[in-house]
Chains A and B, each alone.
Chain A
């Protein structure tokens, strides 16, 4: 039977379709003049950033520059002291606990060392979210878990415990666990740290392939320039609490911005100085009198 165009449900469905079309054209994540401090220490100072859907984005910067804080703000683990962070059109820090948890079900996060549950097997780690958030029968969960593990090349390791895995394998299991419910957004906190070149390349390849296959958006917080520039679509550099530079991998490689140049080429001295600022001069500290008196 043809739908009555005056039917309220029909109109609501049309509106929902239009809303989703509109949302698809908007950035998935929007940072608007975001400030964040730990006590008196300012971490972010007026960060503006838009992240489009379907891209792999890298956020780079020195240690303590606030990269991980950006991920915590997106996940709602921290609240900005000023400004707003929106994910899929919703301001994260304004959401109630239930709404935030509902949003988090559409997000995945890969922690620096995997953060696998050490008392659960590889299989149970990947099945964890499915068992917590769905009523799927165990037979279907088994099939889904094996599919996710197969996607990261570890179907054969489903019976192992986390303590029996290498660092790279643990990272891949954690990745399988993060994509268990097919998230719209994946966040990776230092995914390449401590990996050998093969594992590093495997993880990098998986991030790119899974992002494209599952239609996700991925954000990487990383120090690894070479691997990141190989797989990402866009890079943001964070320094002194602001976005110091941004661009495509090719633009970053050719950048003349001093900070970016120092970072990309691993130069020892530059805008990020080798020496931590001292209150007194070197010669004063050593008690040496120089001709200039310094």
Chain B
């Protein structure tokens, strides 16, 4: 027997000790079905992208891209119809901007309190309130905007229409507080304790330590939370559908009704429009625009969150 043969025989013997006694086909089947389950999540994304893209391309076959993206009149039901999406975009950005003005200070403020000031007792009190707020269905917030906030705005002297961008935007702001607060709080809590102690040791108070040391150290996480909050605000449907009206309106006047992209999709999808009609395709074209906008924000947010996590681990 040659030397090489002996070595190979020995290697085979070693391998056989560790090798499975028999192939386990059952385990392979199980593993394959687990992979299929994971692939369903990928398939969902592919489905969304494909559905939106195919109908949008066919929509753009009938309406030029330039007219769609830069046109300033949205009146798909009028004769002749006009498909300029700008009023829907400005309506969305208007309610989102109001929401951010409310949501950012409240969300980040709540996060700083919970992470830097709260004792474990006050945390136990406030944390469930934020979680409850996050669990309230959006249709209930829509009811709140319509029947509480709008009358209240009129009472304090702001002459709003029955449907208006302001009350929808304000309530969207409340809606995104839990999103911003929970991610910001994670980021603030991840700042090493040593930084705070060093700051206290130099004579800074909690105010200075929070704003000059902890918040800058957690800045990327806070930004990520705000970006995610903006993405939620842009995609929010029920609050604006119920409280902000359905009039495509190129305006910055927050007292007037506006139509957002999500509102248009819901209001049009409600009716029984025939598959393949231009009305049906507009849902997908506007949906594609909404999806692209939120997708970019989500990518930015997850990228920032993942990056910052690695920094502190």
A associates with B: no
Give the A-binding residues of B (Cβ under 8 A): none
Which chain A residues have a beta carbon within 8 Å of chain B's beta carbons? Answer: none
